[in-house]
Structure 1
Amino acid sequence: MQPLPRAGGAYLDARGDGRALRVSWHTEAEVVVLSLWRDNVCTGTFQLAVEDVPGLLDVLSQGWRAAYPTAG
């Protein structure tokens, strides 16, 4: 994988096989880029507008709490 910008992270896919999700903040463009990687090749990107980030966080949080009520 290429180096991440300062603010970001990488998450390995549960299926393995060199798959990963990268999250990188691009404050200059007011987006968060979600990119799908396979080994060292970016296979797709999605640019999420910064104002939509709270909604995505809510969906993830609510889904996690519903699926795993005793966690966290």
Structure 2
Amino acid sequence: MSNGVMVIVIVSVIFGVLYEMYKKHLEFKSKTLKYNQENDEQNNELKHQVEQLTKRVQTLEKIVTDEGYQVQKDINNL
């Protein structure tokens, strides 16, 4: 009888520990998923900003390389 009770106690402790480990794993997985979603949102926002800045630089390059801009600059230098 003593051995049977001891086996039940050991099995109960092992399953209790395994259950706690599983809960911790689920918590970690949840935090990781939330962190990844936040990073995805940040990445999308940064991509949008880079696209806008690229368009602005292209516009500025067109203005600076325009012949009319160069003529106006030469006139201002005189």
Say whether the fold is shared (TM-score over 0.5). no
Which structure has the highest helix share of the two?
2
Higher relative contact order (CA 8 A, sep 6+): 1
Which structure has the highest strand share of the two?
1
Q: Max radius of gyration: which structure? A: 2
TM-score of the pair, normalised by structure 1: 0.29
